Chain A
Amino acid sequence: MQQRLPVLICFVAGILMFLQYFSRHPVARTVFVSINDYWQIIFAFTLLVGVAAFGKSNLRQIGRGIDTPYRFIALSGLVIMPVLAIIGGIKIDSPFQWAFEYMLAPMQATVFSLLAFFVASASYRGFRARNLQAAVLLGAALIVLIGRVPISEMISDSFPKVTFWIQNYPSMSARRGILIGIGLGSMTTALRVILGIERTYLRGE
């Protein structure tokens, strides 16, 4: 029961969603829309589970006295946003939107911008022409780095053209190979999931 029921539901949902692709019949569309709705709503519940787990984990850590100030700050952040939304709604001039624009978004963008420094550091430490393949990688990177800033046009008109040629043909063909590989792999995995051969999603309690 604990294994069979989920496998059966997965099979039915998978088959129905697969078959709908081939039919415009109203019944097929109704089934598709219903499963699609359920899928979306259940997915929203997964976030609620995540929030509950986050709160529980932080409260447990506070109880044990581990990183208490940081855990407290994180929980405050979690509470602040819903409170602001309840008080002032989510309109453009609401405190909720304000907190997003002046607290969350700047911090998020700044954390991400730290990568610029690590990329620079990695370029110095790890980007070395140890062999021919590494040299090819290095060459392609250098051409793109110069070719995609305005200075390339000052060096030569054909510089950007070379950059686009590399991007559009040799680079694209390799990416296409990867893409087709992923496509075939995803397709077989999806089939294995529907047929109940692949059941890793049933693991973990």
Chain B
Amino acid sequence: MMDRLKTRWIIFGGLFIVVTVSYLLRIKFESTASPEVQKSFTYLEELPEGSVIMVSFDHEASSLPEIRPLALAMLRHAFKNDLKIVGVSLFAEGTAIGYRLLTETAGESGKTYGADYVFLGFKPQQISAILGMGESIMHVFPEDYLGTPTDEIPMMRGIKNYEEIEMIVSIADGALTVHWIEYVGGQYDQPIMAALTAAMITTYDPYLASGQLYSVVGGLKGAAEYENLLGRQGGGNRGMTAQTTAHLYVITLIIIGNIMYFRARKAGRE
């Protein structure tokens, strides 16, 4: 038992040291944009000025370290290209995060609330909320996050439902983007783009292959690639050295574990 605990502490300590040291070193790695990241970037880049996109913060605070660089890169890009953003959230915790990220990036770009972006806040029961917006966004969100009547917000006057939205960007750490794809994509024929935590990438591969999902920017690596395309470094690139060494550390553990397993098997102990 004590041996098991000691091994555990060694593994934990090793990971802590590897990530901390490599984070401090910050060796610069070049990341070529993957086709999906390039596709997402090109789409937002080529959208005409003034086009409206809906950004949905469909994640919890637990994934914030991974989501934040992704969201910041995409929001900065959208504001840089003078796109108008309607922010919503389908997760209660994503609400305060979405509000902060939108306020922060809008402030950097000198954008005005109500004219260039709005944050409508949260509505529970995701399927119900997104289906409702297909009929009327103002009906589902009669007030914005801070309680201003939505019909008094200048930017919202011309936006009735998804027909006025060019693209929905779902920033998610779970299966909520699936609801956007299956309910909004299916019933309202609305294009969807996703910014996902790495753990969710393979879940969405079939939707990507079938064209139901336009594109995906995934994980810290995706954020780093997007930052490079945008020409503005951020959390994605900052974390790439540590990400690389952490992966190498896990690979080393797998190899050591297998060597020990095969040695034990050879010795007839298993």
Contacts and interface: CB of A to CB of B under 8 A. Distances in A.
Asked whether any CB of A lies within 8 Å of a CB of B in the complex, the reply is: yes
Interface of A: 21, 29, 32-33, 36-37, 39-40, 43-44, 47, 89-92, 97, 100-101, 104-105, 108-109, 111-113, 116-117, 119-121, 123-130, 138, 141-142, 145-146, 148-151, 153, 160, 164, 167-168, 171-172, 175-176, 179
A159 to B, nearest CB: 11
A123 B14 CA distance: 14
A128 B257 contact: yes
Nearest to A157: B32
A129 B240 contact: no
A149 B221 contact: yes
A40 B32 contact: no
Interface string B43-59: 00000000000000000
Contacts of A145: 247, 250-251
Given A105-B64, A123-B257, A150-B30, A168 B96 contact: no
Contacts of B132: 33, 36-37, 40
Contact of A120 (B12, B29, B187, B206): B12
Given A21-B187, A150-B240, A33 B135 contact: yes
B17 interface: no
Nearest to B96: A100
B135 A146 contact: no
Contacts of A43: 124-125, 128
B269 to A, nearest CB: 14
Contact of B15 (A29, A112, A120, A126): A120
A142 to B, nearest CB: 6
Given A108-B60, A128-B261, A150 B31 contact: yes
B145 interface: yes
Given A120-B253, A123-B257, A108 B246 contact: no
A113 B206 CA distance: 28
Interface string B72-104: 000000000000000000000100110110010
Name the 3 nearest CB pairs between A and B, nearest first: A150-B29, A112-B62, A108-B61
Contacts, number: 155
A151 B244 contact: yes
B65 interface: yes
A153 to B, nearest CB: 6
Contacts of B123: 40
B209 A164 contact: no
A171 B11 contact: no
Contacts of B224: 150
24 contacts: A40-B129, A40-B132, A40-B140, A101-B96, A105-B61, A105-B64, A116-B246, A120-B249, A120-B250, A120-B253, A123-B254, A124-B256, A127-B257, A127-B258, A130-B261, A138-B254, A142-B251, A146-B251, A149-B244, A149-B247, A151-B248, A153-B32, A172-B206, A175-B203
A119 B15 CA distance: 11
